[in-house]
Chains A and B, each alone.
Chain A
Amino acid sequence: MAFTGLFLIFFLLIHGYVNANVLFENGEENFNRAANFMSTNALIRIMEIGLFAGFIIHIIQGYALERMNRAARSNKYAVSGVSKTSTWYSRSMAILGTLILLFLVIHLADFWVPSRFGGLEEVTYGSVETHNLYAKMKEVFSKEWAVIVYVVGCFSLAWHLLHGFQSAFQTLGWKHKNYAGIIEGIGVGFSVIVPLIFALMPIFMYFGWELPIGNITLLF
């Protein structure tokens, strides 16, 4: 869980970084160029296979773990005091993970499927011809329910990360009293900031907002 979890955390960082282009001025061109780079670069395409494997292993292992752990106590307590000694989200990783999985299916159907198997209009920037994924985002996020689904997905992700980030380090044994606080701090920061950036995308698109700063993220 920990290895795949950290790998998926790394993926979120890249995904958020690339997509944050849409929040800024000239977002359409910057984002489409970045998306074009991501879909044509050989290394990224190889990573994509690893990413699918990472997701699948994380999901299967997660459900297997949940099942085994439930089976370890056949007779439940009449009164449970567990809420006094642990956080609700640390005990709800399977439920939060399921919400994220449902979101992932919707998300892949919205963007990954059309960008891989056709269904997107083309746009040309100078000599580069690419899919207009930005237009697809505009289209998807013009519907209120889609915005709500994506924001709920981001909330689930935030709670999942809030436990998962530091938990991965604990599982791998990467814990030292001098650095545990730093890892926890980075974990909380990551769990709040990254899902927030993702949640802002559908909201910005729906309202047609953009930050008046150009080219703040990478240009590809």
Chain B
Amino acid sequence: MSIRLAIAVTHLVNRKRPTLVSLTGIVLGVAFFLAVSSLMRGSERDFIKRLIDNSPHITVSDEYRNPQLQPAVVRWPEGAVEVRRVKPLTEVRGIRGHARKLAFIESLPGLRAAPVLMGSVVLTFAGRIEGVTLSGIVPAKTKGVSTIEEKFTQGSLDALAANPNGIVIGVGLAKKFGLEMGSVVNAASPGGEVRTLKVVGMFRTGNANYDETQTFALLKRVQGLLDRPNRINRFIIQLDDPYAARDVAAVIEERTGYKSVSWLEASEDLMSVLLVRNLIMYSVVSAILVVAAFGIYNTISTIVMEKTHDIAILKSMGFHARDVRRIFLAEGVMLGLIGSLLGLALGLGLMALLARVEIKPPGATELVHLPIYWGYEQYLLAAGFALASAVGAAYLPARKAGRVQPVTILRGMG
């Protein structure tokens, strides 16, 4: 052990109480930092997981991000071209050449895609009339991109696949209409087509609006009902790595030309709320550590004051100003390190305790454990911040100690 470190250790060991008090500050600071951070990050991840699970990672729709340019503008991009009174060509809605586009999307690694034709229909049953969204799906493909099948209370997607005239509805709609499994409803399209469909499945997602207005039928059936044969207007894409959604969406949009919206883009407002929430949380928990740093400052500057004579004698003996500075910086580092380690242990304990707490969120039927995030980066962050504040707090007294002039002290004595 270097002599500087030995002196630093002696200083701390001989002042057990102030040392313990300032150590406790750091320990509690780090522990609370971890407990709060793990809970906040845990709930954030829980929230994002729900978001990712319940919404498509990427939705490609039959829309363009920007209005289509006039050919003249494309031909002379630098020219002063202005085309007035343009009436765009009536376009058949839907994704053009969707089979080829689907093949391209499916050729990308790490994703599954499903075609959907979405439209509005009016359901009638026993004199009740309700406008709903009807999605035409291919059950085999939909299974790969959606968690809807887990939400079925009765029936299944396979039952839909087996019954060309089947329809799957939410429990909210079933209640409203008084529908049961096997009930037969009429679906009318805006174009006047009418089909009779039989309820072969029911789901409950927990989102009331979705459960009341979303229905599913086979793609072929919906194409017939909406009079748009062989058309689809949407690709639903699920990724193995949800966080790659933004990049993958950009690639797809570039190749297909159609608007591809990733879940990140679709929920940008929520993501920014989470960011602000994290900023607030980290400012508050960091403030605890800053307060703890004052304890360290107090302890070390008291030691410096008490030890002015020792500092003078060390310097007269030939210790450099930086040797003296290092002694007191080392005290800060030791307090920071030991405090961080004990704080990490206590923090892990608190986290384990929190992870065992069960709560019943509003609307849920089962008790759930508090979501706790165990990621290592928060340990590094907590320990790093604690260490930085400890060293910062030690720096000022250490600098003062380095500046002690032995002669000033000796004159005072003699």
Say if A and B assemble together.
no
